[in-house]
Amino acid sequence: MAEFEFFKVIQGYLDQAAKACDLPKHVALILSQPKNEIIVHFPVRMDNGEVRLFKGYRIQHNNMLGPFKGGIRYHENVTLDDTKALAAMMTWKCALMDIPFGGGKGGVKFNPRELSSGELMRVTRRFTHALGANIGPEYDIPAPDVGTNGQIMAWMMDTYMNTVGHVEKNAQKRVVTGKSIAVGGSNGREKATAQGLIHCVTEWAREKSFPLEGKTAIIQGFGNVGGHTGLLLSKLGVSTIAVGDHSGYLYNPEGFNPHKLMDHVKRTGAIAGYEGGQPVTREEFFAVKADLFAPCALENQVGVDEAKMLQVRLVAEGANGPTTPDGENILLQRGIDILPDVLANAGGVTVSYYEWIQNKRSETWELEEVDARLETAMKRAYHRTRNFAREHGTSMRVAAYGLALQKLSANYKERDIFP
Ligand code: NAD
C-alpha cells in the first residue's frame, strides 16, 4: 500500500475546505498545527516483576470553542503525527456538530491485547498521572478510542479524582466521557458512534429513495463502532454478510447474527474462530458485492486497490481516516457515495457531550432522551453538510470541514488574536 501520512492528508483537506469557504489566511495557519503536543514516558511494573517504559501522547489541537476533547488510543502503531491528525479531526467534528468543545486526541504505543487486566489498569493509571493537570473537566476531556473502553475511562477518572485534591474530588467525574454507566457514563454512549452513523445512512437512503430493508452490508472492524453498526443495521433489516478485524475476514451470504458475533468478540477479543462464517482473504472481503461498506477499524484501509475492488453503493466511515485521498477519488469516479468520518462518526462525541452535561448537573437522562437528541443533531449536521456540498460544489468531506471552518473562523473574527 502507498505511503500514508495521516496528518498531511488532514492538512490537505483543510487546504481544500479553506478555499471553499474563503477562510482567512491567519486562521488556516493557526489551525494547521496543534496548540500543544504533550509526550510522556512512564514506567509500569508488569506481572512478571519487570519494569517496562511506555510512551504516551496527548495532542491538544484547538480550544477556541471549548475544552479540548477526544479519545485515547491504545495501539502498537500510535505515533505523534497520527495523533495530531486525529486531534485536528476532533476540532472539526465538534465545530460541525455545534458542540462547545475543541479537539484533542491521545494514545499510548503498545498492544493492549498482550497485557493482563491488572497491567492495563496500571498503564492507564500511570498514563493519567503522567498527564497530570494537562487533562481536566473544564480543560481537556479524554474518551475511548481504539483499544480503550468504558473500563479504561473509569480507571482514568478514578486516578484523576484521587490525585486532584480532596475538596473538589466529587466534581471531577466529567474529566472523561465514555465511562461505564455504573460510574457516571451516559445511557446510549456505547452505541452512540454507530447510532450516529446509522442516522446518516438512513438520511442518505431516504434522499436516494433507496429502501434499506433487505439490503446487505460489509463491515471492517467489529469492536465498539463496527459491532454496534452491525447490530443497528440488523434492526433496519440490513444483513451483514462479511466482516473483518485484526484477526482476519469472514463471509456469510446468509448474514451474520450480530449479537452472537459481538458476544464471541467480547469473549475472545476477535472474530477469528467464529463458526457462523467462512474465512476469506482481505481482498475477497473488499470484493464482496453488497449495498453498504462501513469501515470501522483504522485509518488508511481504502486505498486505490480497495476502492477499485469495492462493489457497494455507499461507504459510511465509522473509523477516522479510513479512505485515502486517492481511494476517495476512485470511489467518487465510480459513483460510490461517501459519508465522511467527520460527519458520520460524530455521534460519539455528541453523546460524550451529553454525558459531560449530565455529570455537571448531576442528572441521568433516559436512553430515549439521549437517542432523540442525537437523532436531531445528526440529521441536522447531515443536511447542513449536504447543502454546503451542493452550494459550493465540494465533496461531502470537504463540506464537513468547510462548515467546521466557518464556525471557527467566525470565532477568530470576533475574538481576534491575543494580545
Ligand atoms: P475498538 O478497539 O473497539 O475496535 C477496533 C476494531 O478494529 C477491532 O475490531 C479491531 O480488531 C479492528 N482492527 C484493528 N486493526 C485492524 C487491522 N489492521 N485490520 C482490520 N481491522 C483491524 O475501537 P473503536 O472504538 O470501535 O474505533 C474504531 C474506529 O472508530 C477508529 O478509527 C476510531 O478512531 C473511530 N471512532 C471511534 C469512536 C468511539 O466512540 N469509540 C468515535 C469516533 C470514531
The answer to whether the beta carbons of residues 408 and 64 sit under 8 Å apart is yes
Distance CA 5, CA 206 (A): 35
- Cα distance between residue 179 and residue 369, in whole Å: 18
Give the pTM: 0.97
User: What residue's CA is closest to ligand 1, atom 30?
Assistant: 319
pLDDT score of 167 more than 80: no
Cell 466521557 belongs to 177
What pLDDT is stored for residue 2 in this prediction? 65
Is pLDDT above 60 for 258? yes
| Ligand 1: centre distance to CA 29 (Å) | 31
Give the model's pLDDT for residue 234. 98
Q: What number is the average pLDDT over the span 385-413?
A: 98
Q: What is the pLDDT of residue 171?
A: 78
Q: Which helix (H) or strand (E) holds 108?
A: strand 103-109
Q: Hey, which residues are catalytic here?
A: 105
Give the pLDDT score at 1. Answer: 56
Is the torsion defined by CA of 388, 390, 392, 398 positive or negative?
A: positive
Instruction: Return the C-alpha torsion angle 20, 23, 24, 27, nearest 10.
Output: -140
Measure the CA dihedral 314/225/401/12, to 10°.
-80
Dump pLDDT digits (tens) for 284-339: 999 999 999 999 999 999 999 999 999 999 999 999 999 999 999 999 999 999 99
pLDDT score recorded for residue 170: 72
Mutation probe of ligand 1 site: the residue of 75, 246, 349, 370 with most atoms within 8 A of C-beta:
246
pLDDT of residue 3: 82
Cα 81 from chain centre: 17
Ligand 1: which residue has its CA nearest to atom 17? 246
Q: DSSP per residue over 305-337, as a string?
A: HHHHH-B-SEEE--SSS-B-HHHHHHHHHTT-E
Kindly give the number of the ligand 1 atom that is closest to the alpha carbon of 147.
Answer: 2
Is the separation of the CB atoms in 28 and 14 below 8 Å?
yes
Ligand 1 pocket test, candidate residues 76, 245, 323, 343, most atoms within 8 A of CB:
245
Q: List strands edge to edge, sheet with 68-75.
A: 36-45, 51-62, 103-109, 68-75, 140-144
Non-local (6+) Cβ contacts of 316 within 8 A are 197, 200, 201, 204, 292, 293, 294, 339, 344
Contact 292, 217 (CB under 8 A): yes
Strands 248-251 and 239-245: antiparallel
CB 320 within 8 A of CB 296: no
The pLDDT value recorded for residue 37 is 98
Nearest to 153 by CA among 184, 187, 108, 111: 184
Closest residue by Cα to residue 296 from 341, 266, 255, 333:
341
For the stretch 104-149, pLDDT in tens is 999 999 999 999 999 999 999 999 999 999 999 999 999 999 999 9
C-beta of 244 in contact with ligand 1 (< 6 A): yes
Q: Is 193 in the pocket of ligand 1 (CB under 6 A)?
A: yes
Residue, of 164 and 46, whose pLDDT is higher: 46
Report the C-alpha gap between 129 and 90 in whole angstroms.
23
Sign of CA dihedral 372, 216, 193, 362: positive
